[in-house]
Amino acid sequence: MFKLNKLTKKISFSLFAILISLSFASCQSKNENSDTKANNEASEEVKSDNEKEVSKTNTDADKEDQDKVDSKEEAKPVGDCCSPISKEIFVTADYLKDVIDGKNDIKDYVIAEVTWGEDDASPDYLKNHIPGAIHINTDTVEEGPVWNFKSDEEIVKSILNYGIDKDTTVFLYGPNSGVARVALAYLIEGVENIKIIDGGIKAWMDKGYETESKANKAVAKTDFKGEYPAHPDLIVSLEQAKKDIESKDENKQYITTRTYEEYIGETSGYTYIPKAGELPGAIYGHDEADYKNADGTYISYDDMVEMLKKEGVHLSKEMIFYCGTGWRAAIPLLKFYEKGFNVKLFDGGWNEWQMHDELPVQLGDPKTDVKMTTVGELSNDKAKKE
């Protein structure tokens, strides 16, 4: 009897607990339904206002999303993330002075001024150059009439003749983008530590560092100490460029680093290029002068990115730079490469493109007024005047 009473009490208590739980759940459901209804009503009240802002909101959201993607892409490595090879390319005059003074462990290095022609054609070399610097002729890495890079064998032979191999740290400087052109050629072949002295001889002399005027001759080497080319993927051929333009690949951007007059087809910018225009869809990437500060140093990476984004460049897409013959395009390419981006050079640029009558051409500014035609329809009077 005692056990029966105890059992009855337990059952009664359990039923009571179940009833309480059901009652609570019912109340909670009603509250949730009430909240949902209220939220829906509130949503309906602002729906009209929201619809008015859809266009602006979507535009802002797209921009924010793209900025986020671009920001993430800044960490995108070109190769092995754990490589011991430094990607630092642009360095100061102070950095080189420390090397010369033996304040770091760089022992095998070459300093070179880079210009077109031999040392007697340089505007500065036989007057003032950094002590120990040799002179490098841009003709050793490219040749006309297209002015594309020479063969890998020819370039590596010239590299060895200048006393440089894969492991040599090379400090380059010069008055124009010819220095970036040579730096890129050496990088492609596999010289692992390429440095450009930001500001060149002016930055060196502004520091009060000594110069010399006597010509220095390189001691040639015979062994490059590595396979070459090491980075052929940095180059886009004419055939690949034609395929990219024809397919209208939205993940690839062809960015032209030329003057605005060249960009809209008013002039070719070169005395030996008769036709003017751009590849269809080309983005204006600004001329060499826009990548320089008043003192001759290069603008910062952040300023460069801001400048290019205003023209429609997206860092999340593949960036293929080109100009007339590959000099100017090497500047932003190396700056982005230094940060680990997937960048390439269309080596032939406008010069090679305009040699083929069947290829399509963009004339004018796509932001305002643009016309599509072909190379064969262009006039031959757009060469830069002497």
Active site residues: 323
User: What is the torsion angle, in degrees rounded to the nearest 10, for the CA atoms of residue 299, residue 301, residue 303 and residue 308?
Assistant: 110
Q: Are 328 and 351 in contact (CB under 8 A)?
A: no
* Strand segments (E) across 244-336: 252-256, 283-284, 318-322
Q: Are 291 and 332 in contact (CB under 8 A)?
A: yes
* Cis amide bond preceding 145, omega within 30: yes
* Cis amide bond preceding 77, omega within 30: no
**Which of 383, 362, 364 lies closest to 372 in space, CA to CA?**
362
Those residues with Cβ within 8 angstroms of residue 75's Cβ, 6 or more apart along the chain or in another chain: 340
Q: Are 329 and 322 in contact (CB under 8 A)?
A: yes
d(CA 361, CA 343) in angstroms, rounded, equals 23
DSSP 314: -
DSSP 212: B
Q: For residue 186, what are its two tokens?
A: 């050496």
Q: Are 325 and 351 in contact (CB under 8 A)?
A: yes
Supply the angle between the helices 178-189 and 152-161 in degrees, to the nearest 10.
110
- CB-based burial label for 107 (10 Å; 0-12, 13-18, 19+): exposed
